[in-house]
């Protein structure tokens, strides 16, 4: 029976000046190099994923979206045709 690995390794090569700087930063916060790299990578990953998942709107744009949700326009012919194509593609009989 195969066991799932609890941890993964990521080898990284970097210029000596970068390595020295990262080690210095890790020491400054009292972390090991590994702890510092993992925590820094996780923080950056969370930041990037939040930017990709969160839609930020101005107050005016948000009001427009909410108004459209509360009072949607009457479907025009193009929308009706698109809805039929979607139903045909996703719900074949």
| C-beta of residue 4 within 8 angstroms of C-beta of residue 19 | no
Separation CA 11–CA 29 (nearest Å): 23
Q: How far is CA 48 from each of CA 3, 16, 22, 33, 51, rounded to the nearest angstrom?
A: 31, 27, 21, 22, 5
| Per-residue pLDDT, 72 | 93
* Confidence (pTM): 0.59
Instruction: Say what the pLDDT of residue 6 is.
Output: 78
Predicted pLDDT of residue 4? 67
d(CA 57, CA 65): 9
36-88, pLDDT tens digit by residue? 999 999 999 999 999 999 999 999 999 999 999 999 999 999 999 999 999 99
Q: By C-alpha distance, which of 38, 56, 57 is closest to 46?
A: 38
Instruction: Copy the structure tokens of residue 48.
Output: 């990037």
């Amino acid at each position: 029976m195969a066991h799932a690995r609890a941890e993964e390794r990521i080898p990284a090569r970097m210029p000596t000046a970068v390595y020295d700087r990262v080690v210095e930063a890790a020491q400054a916060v009292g972390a090991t190099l590994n702890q510092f790299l993992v925590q820094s990578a996780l923080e950056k990953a969370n930041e990037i994923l939040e930017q990709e998942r969160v839609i930020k709107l101005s107050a005016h744009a948000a009001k427009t979206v909410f108004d459209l949700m509360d009072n949607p326009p009457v479907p025009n012919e193009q929308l009706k045709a698109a809805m039929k194509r979607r139903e045909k593609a996703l719900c074949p009989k």
